[in-house]
Amino acid sequence: MRRVTIFGATGSIGENTVDLISRRPADFHAVALTGGHNIARLAEQARRLNAELAVTCHAELYTELKAALSGSGVAVAAGTQGMAEAAARPADWMMSAIVGAAGLQPGLTALEQGTTLALANKESLVAAGPLLMSAAAANGARVLPVDSEHSAIFQALVGEDPAAVERIVITASGGAFRDWPLKALALATPEQAATHPNWAMGQRITIDSASMFNKAMELIEVKEFFGISPDSIEVLVHPESLVHAMVGFRDGALMAHLGPPDMRHAIGYALNWPERAELPVARLDLAKIGRLNFTAPDPARYPALDLARRVMRSGGLAGAAFNAAKEHALDAFIGGRIGFLQMAGVVERTLDTLSGESGLEDAANDLDKILAMDRLARVRAGEAITKQEERKLG
Ligand code: NAD
Ligand code: MG
């Protein structure tokens, strides 16, 4: 019986994790589930999995969650303290599926306890890769990638000598606007950006897919997770989203991982690792699919990719600054303050400004410094957004 905890249980990744776990009640015991505003959903999941503890990150929703779980035997907590309580409960495996930098602290706590960390929360790896990976090493804990591309790479590397890896290729669907004329992108709305051609995901990552900020984050994730030099990581636009990643070896072999666009594969691989168990995902019929397409991404259409390369070259706290500025720019786009194309400009200006200040080169191995850079970058991004707005008015 494996004891599992799910952070962000009510989100897209969380729901898929709950789905897999609920199918095998004899194999998994739910320790803690966390969620946000959707109290009814969290309570329903906690009852279904007979969890020990349910936590909402919103302190003011404690009473509502308590009422929703009355008579269930599930303990209830809320707010920052409740989240810490969930992270501290002993578990064998923890899914980190909160969206945003808020996922960093719970993941770190899990690793410090030697818990296997299934990492969907890419923001924590982008902002604090060295801190997370060294916490894992120091405590003999495993980090298992749950992003589909990184799970694909991880699987292609099983039994291989890491020194024989020559390059890594991750694919991108191209997002909602792949075929839009460049000019039209300036007027794209958050609703339009939040529709993905192939994957059903949370709102934020779907918009990040349209702008390729998601792929930019994933480039950095590859570097942090696999220790690959930035020059050896490539992106290919692949509209079908069936090949998730490829690993190229020094003998020229290219190992590709294919699967339907269903996150239950990557989640299930991490859940069952090092074994493979049957998963309820569709099987590919390649004869029916017939054709797979690949093109190089257009740097003018996707400036986020160059920003990621800049961040990878800089190292240090640039990842924390990049992630925070991106989160802030995304909030501004969703809130209607800036246009779709201005998000990259805000992130670039934030990095430019911070390059002129001290701290950006400091190593990303200290939580307080990472969180301080996160806060500073949000302030600088806010200033860049205000400037954009003034320009629009003037
Ligand atoms: P989502 O928006 O659907 O769900 C996010 C979850 O986190 C919810 O349970 C929400 O209540 C909780 N949450 C949000 N903000 C929080 C905060 N400040 N504190 C505590 N909890 C908070 O997101 P998602 O699409 O499931 O993505 C989760 C993470 O996984 C993201 O980092 C995303 O980039 C990554 N990811 C998602 C997919 C996918 O298919 N959805 C694929 C790869 C990676
Ligand atoms: Mg991905």
The pLDDT value recorded for residue 199 is 86
Cα–Cα distance between 186 and 181 in angstroms, integer? 10
Does 274 sit behind a cis peptide bond, omega within 30 degrees of 0 on the bond before it?
yes
The pLDDT value recorded for residue 81 is 97
* Tokens representing residue 205 in the block: 């990552």
Any idea what DSSP says for residue 233? E
Mean pLDDT across the stretch 6-35? Answer: 98
Q: What is the DSSP string of 129-179?
A: HHHHHHHHHHHT--EEE-SHHHHHHHHHTTTS-GGGEEEEEEEE---TTTT
320 within 8 A of 128, measured Cβ to Cβ: yes
The pLDDT value recorded for residue 252 is 98
* Residue 94 in this model has a pLDDT that exceeds 90: yes
The pLDDT value recorded for residue 393 is 74
Domain residue ranges of the chain, discontinuous segments joined by +: 2-145, 150-260+283-289, 315-393
Determine the residue of 16, 201, 265 to mutate for testing ligand 1's pocket, defined as the one with the most ligand atoms within 8 A of the Cβ atom. 201
* Residue 392 in this model has a pLDDT that exceeds 90: no
243 within 8 A of 261, measured Cβ to Cβ: no
Q: Considering the entire predicted model, what is its pTM?
A: 0.96
Instruction: Report the alpha-carbon angle 385-212-382, nearest 5.
Output: 15
Mean pLDDT across the stretch 328-346? Answer: 97
The pLDDT value recorded for residue 197 is 85
Atom 9 (ligand 1) nearest CA? 8
* Residue 184 in this model has a pLDDT that exceeds 90: yes
Across all residues in the chain, what is the average pLDDT?
Answer: 96
* Residue 196 in this model has a pLDDT that exceeds 90: no
The pLDDT value recorded for residue 312 is 98
The pLDDT value recorded for residue 120 is 98
Closest ligand by atom to 266 CA: 1
Burial class (CB in 10 A: 0-12, 13-18, 19+), 283: exposed
Give the nearest ligand 1 atom to 16 CA. 26
* Residue 391 in this model has a pLDDT that exceeds 90: no
The pLDDT value recorded for residue 307 is 98
Closest ligand by atom to 208 CA: 1
217 within 8 A of 307, measured Cβ to Cβ: no
Any idea what DSSP says for residue 296? P
215 within 8 A of 302, measured Cβ to Cβ: yes
Q: 390 by DSSP, 3-state: which? A: helix
Mean pLDDT across the stretch 230-241? Answer: 97
User: Which candidate, 159, 149, 268, 157, places its Cα nearest to that of 220?
Assistant: 149
Query: How much distance in Å is there from the Cα of 393 to the middle of ligand 2?
Result: 37
Q: Which CATH architecture has domain 2-145?
A: 3-Layer(aba) Sandwich (3.40)
CB-defined site of ligand 1, < 6 Å: 8-14, 35-36, 57, 97-100, 102, 120-123, 147, 199, 201-202, 204-205, 263
The pLDDT value recorded for residue 285 is 97
The pLDDT value recorded for residue 161 is 97
* Residue 48 in this model has a pLDDT that exceeds 90: yes
The class that CATH gives domain 315-393 is mainly alpha
26 within 8 A of 49, measured Cβ to Cβ: no
The pLDDT value recorded for residue 172 is 97
Give the nearest ligand 1 atom to 214 CA. 34
The pLDDT value recorded for residue 244 is 98
pLDDT digits (tens, 9 = 90+) for 338-364: 999 999 999 999 999 999 998 999 999
The pLDDT value recorded for residue 271 is 98
pLDDT digits (tens, 9 = 90+) for 106-161: 999 999 999 999 999 999 999 999 999 999 999 999 999 999 999 999 999 999 99
Any idea what DSSP says for residue 57? S
Closest ligand by atom to 120 CA: 1
The pLDDT value recorded for residue 390 is 87
Strand partners, 246: 169, 256
Query: How much distance in Å is there from the Cα of 64 to the middle of ligand 2?
Result: 34
98 within 8 A of 92, measured Cβ to Cβ: no
pLDDT digits (tens, 9 = 90+) for 162-177: 999 999 999 999 988 9
* Residue 200 in this model has a pLDDT that exceeds 90: no
Portion of the chain with pLDDT greater than 70, in percent: 100
Atom 27 (ligand 1) nearest CA? 99
* Residue 224 in this model has a pLDDT that exceeds 80: yes
221 within 8 A of 125, measured Cβ to Cβ: yes
Give the nearest ligand 1 atom to 8 CA. 9
* Tokens representing residue 375 in the block: 């806060």
Strand 28-35 and strand 2-7: the pairing is parallel
